[in-house]
Amino acid sequence: MTLDQMKAYLQGYDGKEINIMEVCGSHTAAIAKNGIPGMLSPRIHLLSGPGCPVCVTPSAYVDKLIELADSGKVIVTFGDMIRIPGSKESLSEAKGRGIRVEMVYSPFDIISMAKAAADDEFVFAAVGFETTTPIYALLIEHLIKEEIKNVKLLTALKTMPGVIDHVMASGADIDGFIAPGHVSVVTGTGIYKPIAEKYSIPFGVSGFEGEQLLKALCGIVASVGRGVVHNFYHEAVRDEGNISANEIINRYFKEDDAMWRGMGIIPGSGRYLKEEYVSFDAGSFGLNDDEIKNKACRCSEVLMGKIKPMECPLFKKVCTPLSPQGACMVSEEGNCHSYLVNGRDDL
């Protein structure tokens, strides 16, 4: 189909009302940035899912980072993490009372920091999905090779298929998924097949350009009711995934249960350092407490696609990017942040 044909197809769709969930935070951002919701038939609804890694990180993880910092360690993190609420405070708030937090753009920046300050102990806030896990594996490899002893990781690494199954099993009314692009580069498309078949729902693996998303949407809409997996991102995603990335992940990490903010523990959906590398772990196991700072926050339902962000009573009133009550309002890729900043569904 040409671009115009795709637009006409999605605008003119007059079948049954359908809900399509995008699971990846980068897709959430790309959908809003391209203004896609307003280009669709009123019978096609897009929902954002649990695909922003910092949004699904429980409060116990933030509390643990602050505890480590309070004991004198330097926390090194990506920007988004510093404003995620813990049970009492965020890293950013704790920084105000003197803990040491450094923001970086690459986990490898921690190597030069650790070398320059050999007496300091550093902890990297290793949060992410399948996409970022190989990078942390490479980091561990470097730390071993260069015999760097003053760096540890506090991991909150999660995997996709388990949470998608969890969303479906919880009774969400979803007719198709835009499967995450970057994750699929690593995992391949096979991981979605069992879920597609179990619930008879189509998956479309998509890139991040507007036209790629429209193509994936067309494919998903045309396949509603069928348990199929389409790969619309051939230029980057192979069915078998990236074998060497998976090898290095499996060398350093093992699967175990993981706590998802607002959703509870999902079996086998986490990755932790293996026993032989546990000396690089700063205490990542058992961080299962999940206290919500503002009890009225409905992030968990937003992440599961049960409500849209504007249905939360705090949205845009008490909860704003400057004063986030829940994690979804923090990151550029958080569902609530994206809806608010881009006025999604407003046009």
Partner 1 sequence: MLHGSGGRASSELIGSIFAKEFDNDVLNAMEDAAVVDGCKRIAMTTDSFVVTPLEFKGGDLGRLSVCGTVNDLLMRGAEPKYMTCGFILEVGADVELLKRLVHSMAACAAEAGVILVAGDTKVIEGTGGIYVNTTGVGFVDEGIDIAAANSKPDDLILVSGTMGDHHAAILSERMSIKNDIESDNAPLVEMVSKLKKIRTKDGECAVHTLRDVTRGGLGTVLSELAASSGCDFLIEEDKIPVSSAVRDFAGLLGLDPLYMGNEGKLVATVTRAEAPEALAAVRSSRYGENAAIIGEVQKPGNGGLVLRTGLGGLRRLGPLEGEGLPRIC
Which stretches of the chain bind partner 1, using CB under 8 A? 7, 25-26, 29, 32-39, 53-54, 78-81, 83, 105, 127-129, 131-132, 182, 210-211, 214, 320-322, 331-333, 337, 340-343, 346-347
Q: Which is nearer to partner 1, 105 or 235 (CB)?
A: 105
- Ordered alpha helix ranges (H), the chain: 3-12, 25-34, 59-70, 91-95, 109-116, 133-145, 160-169, 181-187, 193-199, 210-222, 243-252, 299-303, 335-342
For the bound state, the minimum distance from the C-beta of residue 80 to partner 1, rounded and expressed in Å, comes to 5
For the bound state, the minimum distance from the C-beta of residue 153 to partner 1, rounded and expressed in Å, comes to 15
Q: Which is nearer to partner 1, 132 or 150 (CB)?
A: 132
| Type of residue numbered 297 | C
Rounded Cα–Cα distance for residues 259 and 61 (Å): 10
Q: Which is nearer to partner 1, 196 or 241 (CB)?
A: 241
Question: Which residues touch 119 (CB under 8 Å, ≥6 apart)?
Answer: 150
Q: Which is nearer to partner 1, 32 or 248 (CB)?
A: 32
Rounded Cα–Cα distance for residues 24 and 49 (Å): 7
Question: Which residues touch 13 (CB under 8 Å, ≥6 apart)?
Answer: 40, 41, 43, 44, 221
Are 100 and 69 in contact, with CB atoms under 8 Å apart? Answer: yes
For the bound state, the minimum distance from the C-beta of residue 198 to partner 1, rounded and expressed in Å, comes to 27
For the bound state, the minimum distance from the C-beta of residue 8 to partner 1, rounded and expressed in Å, comes to 11
Q: Which is nearer to partner 1, 183 or 297 (CB)?
A: 183
For the bound state, the minimum distance from the C-beta of residue 180 to partner 1, rounded and expressed in Å, comes to 9
Q: Which is nearer to partner 1, 115 or 226 (CB)?
A: 115
Q: Which is nearer to partner 1, 23 or 196 (CB)?
A: 23
For the bound state, the minimum distance from the C-beta of residue 186 to partner 1, rounded and expressed in Å, comes to 11
For the bound state, the minimum distance from the C-beta of residue 295 to partner 1, rounded and expressed in Å, comes to 24
Ramachandran angles phi, psi of 81, nearest 5°: -65, -30
Q: Which is nearer to partner 1, 30 or 196 (CB)?
A: 30
CA dihedral 23, 27, 33, 36 (to 10 degrees): -70
Ramachandran angles phi, psi of 307, nearest 5°: -135, 160
Are 79 and 51 in contact, with CB atoms under 8 Å apart? Answer: no
Rounded Cα–Cα distance for residues 274 and 261 (Å): 24
For the bound state, the minimum distance from the C-beta of residue 232 to partner 1, rounded and expressed in Å, comes to 15
Task: Give the CA distances from residue 99 to residues 65, 75, 113, 120, in Å, rounded to whole numbers and listed in that order.
Answer: 10, 9, 17, 13
